[in-house]
Chain A
Amino acid sequence: MSTMNLDSPEETVTFEIVEKSSIKRPSVFSTFFALIKFQNLFLILLPLFYVLVKNYVDNRFRDPGTCMIASLGMLFIFAALNIRNDVNDHMSGYDRVNITHTAKPINKGWITADSASNISWILTMIATLIAVPVMYRQPEEARVIAVVTVLIFAGRLLSKNSYKNQRWGEVIFFILAGPGVISGYQVALGAGVDTEGLAFGVLWAWGIQFLVHLNNFSHILTSSQAGIKNTMTNAGFDKAKKILIGWWCAFIVLWVLYHYFYASTFWSYLTTAILIFWSIPTFIKISETSSPLGSDLAEAKQVGYRTFLLMCVLIVIEFYWYLGNKNDWFI
């Protein structure tokens, strides 16, 4: 299926009618993993790792049981939101305009939008049920959940497509993906919200938002033609490249600040140097991208994504070191 004139009065969608049996479907598990975007789970697991290590090192590891239950709830709500996002992308036509190499089960006909929507509701309900004992054990968690719920619904009301594609949606997404996730874990662990956790949340959200901008940049032409509004389409091709480079530069500054206040000098210097060194190809690739349509965009996205992954690896190594130090593993 394809469309070249989404949201215009002449919108035409071309369907190819094929035999149901001719659609190659992967296994149920593969479909489910593609649906919940299994490969992106690290976006909520790494903050969990951070919270666990940080509080263990700070001797504030008070309620690990509740934290584990909350993490389970987080997995369910993460999966539910990802599926909901795919359903909305499908209903709005966004997935027909912005064709990606990532498997989109609904678009590929592996599952109907209706079934996916039902799965999303079931997962949301499970997440809600899981939240009950968490709130019972850590009443403070009710506030975090209330704020997050309000933000999710506000994002839905504001957005036309999916809320990563609206300017205010980007702000909401920023709060949810960073400070929201960290605060949720912190409170569930009984450690309460602190400035160090919030600072990491901002840093993390800034990084994730870079990925969102990068993804939106890779669809800048098709999104613009379809009238989709986000920071990249509003800026236009040339300015968008500058914003992306500036955004990652700002990330490095935040990285330095976080490490200056909360990390050891050794790790500050080492990780910053590696991060800067690895970021150079990203800057070059983005600035050299010459067309809003060709293969350069996919390459820029790939290089940027790799830099982000390296940053995640640095965090894991650094915090593993703190953990080891606390337990005298390296003596």
Chain B
Amino acid sequence: MNLKIFSPKDFPAYLPKLNSLYDDLFAGGKGFRSKLVQMVSNPLGLPSETQQLLCQTIEFVHNASLLHDDLIDRSQLRRGKPAAWAKYTPEYAVLAGDYLLARVMVNLSSFGNIKLVQFTSETISDLLEGEWLQDSVVGDFFVSLEQLDRIHNLKTASLFKWCLRAPFMAAGNNDVELHRTLDEMGTILGQLFQRSDDLLDYDIRNDEGKAILGDLKSGYLNSFGAFVTRNMNRAQIDQMVKSSDLNEYYQCFAGGEKEFQEYVAKFDAVNEKMIQLYDHHLVQLEAKIQKPELVKSLKPLTEILYWRRKPKA
């Protein structure tokens, strides 16, 4: 599926560097969100053109946020390549992000589903609020997990909610109860994805080779960090902030690495409860929509997103 071009007016060739910037941006992504949209759209029998529009929408919104996010964080690399702002100038990165969001509105409004347009606009708004709030807590090493959950609900979970709900909206199913369940499932998936991503920072299930303690060094206490610091005193937190590698980080705990691993196990146990809740919502969903194939395909998502392993066959 060509996500880049939905309308012939997408990405005019006369704009310098525009197409090469987008080619770079879309080349390395896994396209997980668009796959999720397809996963929901297929059992609903949505036409392929509608599916393409939905997939493009979510990938454009996601990539727009990456373009802006990399510039805000001054991240030099994105998916192993130079970030757009570093390669093409910050000005082009900002404009390219804005342009993606504008194309989303142009293409989506032409579809004629006002509820979907409104929902997408709210999702973008939530995403930006989340980014804004996250930026405001940089340097705050006493932020609580509950507070970070609120940020992640806006920043990360909003897109997962969209992936689950938008295909139903496009199919004309606006049942309030159904969307409430989907919303809750999207929240859980987003939180799990974010928490798993935050664990990579501590080299837990880090098969992607993400930079170790990157968040902490940027002054951002992520969800696992907040989970751990709940029981730390000020001196321990000060020591933790100064850690330059994992060995130094382990020294913040009285029991060293062993105690750190115990925290990881406790964190996993907390998230396992969230997974149980997700499974509970799946049962509710099946009762509401009578589409066992959809429920079956959504079931392994927690395995993929949190545990980062392929689901058992």
A294 contacts B143, CB within 8 Å? yes
Determine the distance from Cα of A2 to Cα of B151 in the docked complex, in whole angstroms.
15
Q: Binding site of B, secondary structure by majority: helix, strand, loop or mixed?
A: helix
Q: Given A4-B153, A294-B140, A296-B140, do A14 and B277 touch, yes or no (CB 8 Å)? A: yes
Contact with A along B122-146 (1 / 0, CB 8 A): 0000000000010011001011101
Roughly how many angstroms separate A296 CA and B183 CA in the complex, as a whole number? 31
Q: How many contacts between A and B, using CB within 8 angstroms?
A: 44
Instruction: Say yes or no: is B180 at the interface (Cβ < 8 Å to chain A).
Output: yes
Assess whether A12 is in contact with B180, with CB atoms less than 8 Å apart.
yes
Return chain B residues, CB-CB under 8 Å to A14. 184, 277
B184 & A12 in contact (Cβ 8 Å cutoff): yes
CB closest chain-B residue, reference A14:
B277
A290 at the interface (CB under 8 A from B): yes
Among candidates B137, B176, B184, B187, residue contacting A9 with C-beta atoms closer than 8 Å? B176
How distant is A311 from chain B, measured CB to nearest CB, in Å?
27
Contact A12 B133 (CB under 8 A): no
**When chains A and B are docked, how far (Å) is the Cα of A293 from the Cα of B179?**
28
Q: How far is the CA of A126 from the CA of B182 in the complex (A)?
A: 49
Number of B positions contacting A (CB below 8 A): 20
- B142 and A294: CB pair below 8 A? yes
Residues on B with C-beta less than 8 A from A10 are 176, 179-180, 183
A293 & B183 in contact (Cβ 8 Å cutoff)? no
The answer on a CB contact under 8 Å between A295 and B140 is yes
Chain A, residues 12-45, CB within 8 Å of chain B (1/0): the string is 1010100000000000000000000000000000
Judge whether A293 and B150 touch: CB under 8 Å: yes
For B136, B151, B153, B176, the residue with the greatest tally of chain A CB atoms inside 10 Å of its CB is B136
Q: Kindly state the separation between the CA atoms of A12 and B186 in the bound complex, as whole angstroms.
A: 12
Q: Which residues of B contact A293 (CB under 8 A)?
A: 133, 136-137, 143, 147, 150-151
Minimum C-beta distance from A329 to chain B (A): 43
Report the contact-size class of chain A (Cβ under 8 Å from the partner).
10 to 19
Contact indicator B187/A4 (Cβ below 8 Å): yes
Chain A residue at minimum C-beta to C-beta distance from B133: A293
Interface centre among B137, B153, B179, B273 (most CB of A within 10 A): B137
Q: How far is the CA of A291 from the CA of B151 in the complex (A)?
A: 12
Flag if A294 contacts B180 (CB, 8 Å).
Answer: no
CB within 8 Å of A: which B144-182 residues: 144, 146-147, 150-151, 153, 176, 179-180
Q: What is the minimal beta-carbon distance from B158 to any residue of chain A, in angstroms?
A: 11
Q: List A residues 290-320 near B (Cβ within 8 Å).
A: 290-296
22 A-B pairs (CB sep. < 8 Å)? A2-B146, A10-B176, A10-B179, A10-B180, A10-B183, A12-B183, A12-B184, A221-B150, A291-B133, A291-B140, A292-B133, A293-B137, A293-B143, A293-B150, A294-B136, A294-B137, A294-B140, A294-B142, A294-B147, A295-B140, A295-B142, A296-B140
